[in-house]
């Protein structure tokens, strides 16, 4: 058997074994060891040790625990509640105001945090009771909360982009800069869609009743200032310092975590129990990410050494598809895999397999990464592994899971639309990095 | 079965203690980098040690975190199919995977990792990527120590699955 065919067998065996429900990282390691040993002998053992150690030696990965800590502390700081309250008061007279407030809060909070879990939960807790009281449409409400809440994984700072940068081989700073406009575009699509629907069908999103409105405009301004200034400061310290080149992504993450510590102290939300919980959670997720990244780097090294990616690339180039065709196929693959899988296995296992093809076509890798990232956001919304729906159901038990699914599907159509816009107008992605670069 | 429960308890206890000792490291990690940004931007005098310190701390967090994640069930698995199996089937499959995948893979990692760290220790190797040139062999030893703890926690997880398979419930 030639090494290339061995590589194909490898991927087939692997994809069956991974579905048995055992932690991916360990299955990946042993399979790569076995197939690597058959393919090129004992060198595979040192390759594994080296792959793991080079991970421990790379300062970029220190951004992961820091972004996690920052996000977990911000959940507790009550930042989002203030922001949402302020937007709700400001927009109260508008039809569909709560939808818009959710989209705005989600987008702003996403620029201050790099993780996703909390946003959906917090938005659900804050918005759902008022939405129920004002007879907002359940599907629409669930859709905008889940879709908006998961923007945190796309809009920088984002743990997903930190992981993606080294996998694709582009700078994390470029990815951060490139993801801002697409993220805001999606938030705009979500909010805009909700507003248009509320205008056409007033019953799904009425303006808020008098008792939910503010007494004076000055009060709204005061609330808005209180809600907006702390996150703005945090965004400047973290994302700003990264984008303007004052700090590396890792240092920016440290600044963000530091800012989050200051905020949680300032809001008097700090307790040792919370710190303990956030710290252990940080440790756990960092361990999961680092170990899985090591395993998949090792897998990628073995796989490419067997020569299979080159073979696949030649076969695909021979098909005579243009770059657009290839990208569409890859995005479709990512989208479909997003139904049973979470983003981490897709980024770490699938992307390295298709990457040589993308390179062979000379496709801009930053643009490609962002397209994949936008597409991956749907992985949170597509059943059966739609984490966002479980989180929302957990805090709003009176909403039917079926309605939540249907709501999410509506917003997945919007995301597909957003992806197509980025596909045909690459400037949306590439403009900001080029401006910042000089 | 009594002995099994005792072993699981001791092994889990070890992991929880390593986690309690390791997680506060995120504070010095943050402090070092924030200090570096401030002295570099405000006083234009960057440190030569911040970068090395940051990846070393993160190396400990990442590898020891993997041990804690195993205890907490935090390692990602594709489980939407296995969720439909009965508890005992699931435990049996997991136990088989521990025997065929986890222990062989991590034992090989331990063996070759130890050689890697031992060679480095013999020559008192230093990092050549920075001007500070700190000794790098301790970090390689951290990797080995973490794998030892990972194997210990793996034994505990295997025994838990075995218990579920035999008795139908967690120890």
The DSSP result for A56-94, as a single string, is HT-GGGGHHHHHHHHHHHHHHHTHHHHHHHHHHHHHTTS
Q: Given this model, what pLDDT does residue A418 score?
A: 93
For the cut 80, the answer to whether the pLDDT of residue A212 exceeds it is no
Residues of A in contact with B41 (CB under 8 A): 246
Total Cβ atoms within 10 A of residue B84: 10
Confidence of residue A308 (pLDDT cuts 50, 70, 90): confident
Residues of A in contact with B54 (CB under 8 A): 59, 62, 250
Provide the b/e sequence for A235-263 (b: ≥16 CB within 10 Å). Answer: bebbbbbbbeeebbbbbbbbbbbbbbbbb
Q: Name the pLDDT band for A378 (thresholds 50, 70, 90).
A: confident
Looking at residue A419, its pLDDT comes to 92
Nearest to A181 by CA among A437, A426, A438: A426
In 3D, which of A354, A360, A312, A351 has the Cα closest to residue A5?
Answer: A312
Q: Is A291 on the interface with B (CB under 8 A)?
A: yes
A:49-78 residues touching chain B, CB 8 A cutoff:
49-50, 52-53, 55-59, 61-62, 64-66, 69
Mean local confidence (pLDDT), A95-100: 91
Mean pLDDT across the stretch A154-169? 91
d(CA A424, CA A135): 38
Band (pLDDT 50/70/90 cuts) for residue A208 is: confident
Helical packing angle, A172-200 and A97-112, nearest 10°:
170
Contacts of B30 in chain A (CB under 8 A): 66, 69, 254, 257-258, 261
Chain B contact for A12, CB < 8 A? Answer: no
pLDDT at A125: 87
Residue A114 three-state SS: coil
Size of interface A-B (CB pairs under 8 A): 215
A22 and B101: CB-CB below 8 Å? yes
Q: How far is A65 from chain B (nearest CA, A)?
A: 7
DSSP A245: T
pLDDT of B168 reads 82
User: CB within 8 A of A57, min separation 6: which ones?
Assistant: B55, B59, B127, B129, B136, B139
Per DSSP, the three-state class of B135 is strand
- How far is A426 from chain B, CA to nearest CA, in Å? 33
pLDDT at A1 over 80: no
Closest Cα partner for A143 from A124, A118, A122, A117? A124
ipTM exceeds 0.90, yes or no? yes
Cβ <8 Å between A24 and B94: no
CA A241 – CA A243 distance, rounded (Å): 6
Question: Which element (helix H / strand E) includes B129?
Answer: none
Distance CA(A159)–CA(A373), nearest Å, equals 11
Mean pLDDT of A18-26: 91
Contact B74 A287 (CB under 8 A): yes
Hey, are the CB atoms on B97 and A20 less than 8 Å from each other?
Answer: yes
Residue in chain B closest to A344 (alpha carbons) equals B76
Tens digit of pLDDT for each residue in B72-116? 998 988 888 888 899 999 999 999 999 999 999 999 999 999 999
- Residue B103 and residue B58 in contact, taking contact as beta carbons nearer than 8 Å: no
For the full predicted model, state whether its pTM sits above 0.95.
no
Question: Which 8-state DSSP code applies to residue A31?
Answer: H
* Alpha-carbon gap, residue B171 to A267, rounded angstroms: 42
Q: What is the pLDDT of residues B53-83, one digit of tens each?
A: 999 999 999 999 999 999 999 898 888 888 8
pLDDT at A431 over 90: yes
Q: Which residues neighbour A405 within 8 Å (Cβ) at sequence distance 6 or greater?
A: A383, A386, A389
Quick one: which of B96, B109, B99 has its CA closest to B148? B109
Q: Does A295 touch chain B (CB under 8 A)?
A: no
Give percent above pLDDT 90 in chain A: 47
Q: For residues B162 and A171, what is the distance between their CA atoms, to the nearest angstrom? A: 45
pLDDT at A214 over 80: no
d(CA A366, CA A175): 6
Each residue's pLDDT tens digit, A30-65: 999 999 999 989 999 999 999 999 999 999 999 999
Backbone angles phi and psi of A50, in degrees to 5: -65, -40
Arithmetic mean of pLDDT over chain A: 89
Q: Are A227 and A82 in contact (CB under 8 A)?
A: yes
B98-115 CB burial, b ≥16 within 10 A, e <16: beebbbbbbebbbebbbe
A279 near B CB under 8 A: yes
Could you give the CA distance from residue A356 to residue B127 in angstroms, rounded to a whole number? 32
With an 8 Å Cβ cutoff, are A254 and B30 in contact? yes
Tell whether the model's pLDDT for residue A23 goes beyond 90. yes
Tell me the C-alpha distance between A280 and A267, whole Å: 22
On the question of pLDDT at A391 being above 80, the answer is: yes
User: Is a pLDDT exceeding 80 seen at residue B36?
Assistant: yes
Preferred mutation among A16, A18, A32, A49 to probe B, highest tally of B CBs within 10 A: A49
- Which candidate from A57, A285, A341 shows the least CB-CB separation from B78? A341
- The closest alpha carbon to A122, from A395, A382, A381, A403, belongs to A395
Kindly report which listed range (A4-13, A144-153, B125-134) carries the lowest average pLDDT score: B125-134
- Taking the C-alpha atoms of residue A73 and residue A66, their distance in angstroms, rounded to an integer, is 11
pLDDT confidence bin for A231, thresholds 50/70/90: confident
CA distance B163 to chain A (A): 17
What is the pLDDT averaged over residues B46-55?
Answer: 91
pLDDT at position A117 over 90: no
Tokens of A170: 């582009």
Report the residue of chain A nearest B93, measured CA to CA.
Answer: A20
Q: Does A384 touch chain B (CB under 8 A)?
A: yes
pLDDT at residue number A118? 72
Q: Could you give the CA distance from residue A334 to residue A317 in angstroms, rounded to a whole number?
A: 19
């Amino acid at each position: 058997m030639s090494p290339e065919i061995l590589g194909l067998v490898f991927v087939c065996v692997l994809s069956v074994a991974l579905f048995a429900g055992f932690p991916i990282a360990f299955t990946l390691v042993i399979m790569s060891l076995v197939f690597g040993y058959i393919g090129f002998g004992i060198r595979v053992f040192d390759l594994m040790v080296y792959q793991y150690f080079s991970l421990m030696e790379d300062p970029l990965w220190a951004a992961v625990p820091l972004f996690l800590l920052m996000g977990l502390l911000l959940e507790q700081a009550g930042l989002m509640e203030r922001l949402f309250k302020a937007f709700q008061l400001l927009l109260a007279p508008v039809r569909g105001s709560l939808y818009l407030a959710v989209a705005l809060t989600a987008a702003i909070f996403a620029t201050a945090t790099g993780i996703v879990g909390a946003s959906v939960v917090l938005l659900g807790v804050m918005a759902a009771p008022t939405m129920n009281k004002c007879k907002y449409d359940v599907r629409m409400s669930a859709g905008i909360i889940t879709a908006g809440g998961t923007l945190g994984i796309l809009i920088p700072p984002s743990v997903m982009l930190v992981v993606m940068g080294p996998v694709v081989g582009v700078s994390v700073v470029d990815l951060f800069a490139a993801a801002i406009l697409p993220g805001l575009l999606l938030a705009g699509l979500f909010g805009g869609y909700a507003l248009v629907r509320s205008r056409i069908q007033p019953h799904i999103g009425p303006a808020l009743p008098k008792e939910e409105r503010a007494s004076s405009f000055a009060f709204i301004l005061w609330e808005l200032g209180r809600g907006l200034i702390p996150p703005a400061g945090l965004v400047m310290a973290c994302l700003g310092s990264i984008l303007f080149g004052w700090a590396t992504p890792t240092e920016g993450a440290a600044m963000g975590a530091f800012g989050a510590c200051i905020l949680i102290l300032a809001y008097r939300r700090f307790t040792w129990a919370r710190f303990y919980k956030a710290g252990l959670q940080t440790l756990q997720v960092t361990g999961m990410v680092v170990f899985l990244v090591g395993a998949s780097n090792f897998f990628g090294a073995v796989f490419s050494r067997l020569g299979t990616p080159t073979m696949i690339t030649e076969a695909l180039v021979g098909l005579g598809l243009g770059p657009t065709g290839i990208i569409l196929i890859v995005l479709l693959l990512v989208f479909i895999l997003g139904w049973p899988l979470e983003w981490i296995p897709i980024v770490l296992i699938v992307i390295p397999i298709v990457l040589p093809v993308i390179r062979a076509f000379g496709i801009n890798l930053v643009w490609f990464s962002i397209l994949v990232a936008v597409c991956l956001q749907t992985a949170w919304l597509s059943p059966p592994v739609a984490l966002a729906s479980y989180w929302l159901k957990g805090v709003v038990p009176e909403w039917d899971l079926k309605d939540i699914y249907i709501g999410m599907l509506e917003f997945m159509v919007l995301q597909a639309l957003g992806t197509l816009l980025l596909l045909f107008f690459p400037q949306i992605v590439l403009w900001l990095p080029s401006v910042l670069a000089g | 079965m009594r002995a099994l429960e005792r072993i699981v308890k001791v092994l889990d206890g070890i992991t929880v203690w390593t986690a309690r000792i390791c997680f506060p490291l995120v504070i010095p990690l943050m402090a070092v980098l924030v200090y570096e940004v401030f002295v570099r931007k405000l006083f234009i005098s960057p440190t030569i040690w911040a970068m090395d310190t940051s990846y070393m701390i993160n190396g400990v967090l990442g590898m020891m975190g993997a041990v804690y994640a195993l205890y907490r069930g935090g390692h990602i698995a594709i489980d939407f199919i296995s969720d439909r199996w009965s508890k005992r089937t699931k435990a049996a499959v997991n136990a088989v995977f521990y025997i065929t995948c986890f222990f062989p893979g991590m034992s090989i990692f331990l063996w070759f990792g130890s050689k890697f760290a031992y060679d480095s220790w013999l020559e008192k190797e230093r990092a050549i990527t920075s001007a500070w040139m700190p000794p790098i062999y301790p970090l390689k030893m951290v990797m080995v120590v973490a794998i030892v703890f990972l194997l210990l926690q793996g034994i505990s997880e295997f025994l838990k699955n075995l218990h579920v398979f035999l008795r139908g419930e967690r120890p």
